[in-house]
Structure formats: structure tokens, C-alpha cells
Amino acid sequence: MVKNERVEDRYNRQQLIDGWNQEKLANSRVVLVGAGNLSGFTALSLAALGIGNLEIYDSGKVSRKQDNILFFSQDYQPRALALEELLKKINPNPKIKGINISFENQQMLPMMGRPNIIIDLTNSLKSKENILRYAEPGKINFVSAVANEFASQLQVIRASVAS
């Protein structure tokens, strides 16, 4: 018979995986560009896994007709802030910050600093181009994806396992 005890360590299941390093994950910093549906599901996974620091950059507003993951958020609220609020309810441990900004203006890119990885899930080609040009010289790991109801595409520009 299984006891119905409260699990104190929310990450205990994944720590059973050979080679899993929860401390390394907790000390990492991920920048997520975009806060639409694809970004939302990605961010939910990262927060549940226990990523240490997650920054979400997006300049859009919530539309409950389009934003499935943010359905219970207020319409016209900044998406980055709505996603931050949702993620903090799912897992209060990570440092999560939603920032209402667009990267179509490349002068804003340095505010990202040097994260472990940038995950770009915007539909803006200008933002994608600017972010790639920012990540390349700094050798920042970069993943870019785009999706709509008909198709999706994923591109890993530089991925390495840091020691």
C-alpha cells in the first residue's frame, strides 16, 4: 500500500535519471523570446523542471481567442507578464521575470546579457535576425522555432553541453 505523503522535493522523480544534474539546472539562466502558445508550453516545461532563472521577453498583449495557455489571463494584459504570473503559480522556486519589450530594435538586445541559452519562439523575422546576430559573436546557445496551426519549424544554431 502506498502512503499518501506530501513530496517535499518536487524534483525527486527527474533526479532518478542517470546523469541528471538538478543543481546545474537550478543555476542556469534561460531567455525565452516570445510569449505565445509555443512559448507558453515551453516555459511551463522549463518552470516545472526547475530552471533557476527564466526571463520572458514579448511585446504582445493577451488575446484569449488566440492565447490558449493564457486563456484565464485578462485580455490586453502584456503577454510576458501574464505568462510570468502563470508560471509562478506552477512553480514558485525559479526566478521568473516577464519583460514587455520587442527585439525588433536591436539596441534592446544587450539587456539580455549572457544567458546559458536563448530560445526564440517569435514569429518576427526581424527579431529572429537580431537575436541571432546577438547570440553568434558571444557563442550563446540559440534555439529558434516558429509554429502556426498548419506547420512548425525548429532550428538549433549552437547547442553544446557546458561543463
How many domains are contained in the chain?
1
Residue 5 lies in a domain: no
Percent of the chain with pLDDT over 70: 83
Domain-embedded: residue 80: yes
Q: What is the pLDDT of residue 77?
A: 87
What's the domain range around 68?
Answer: 20-158
Nearest residue to 57 via CA among 103, 99, 118, 29: 99
Mind listing the pLDDT tens digit for each residue in 57-92?
Answer: 999 888 766 666 666 666 668 989 999 998 998 899
pTM, full prediction? 0.83
CATH number at residue 139: 3.40.50.720
Q: Judge contact between 56 and 98, C-beta under 8 A.
A: yes
Residue 68 confidence (pLDDT)? 66
Q: Which of 94, 99, 36 is nearest to 69 (CA)?
A: 36
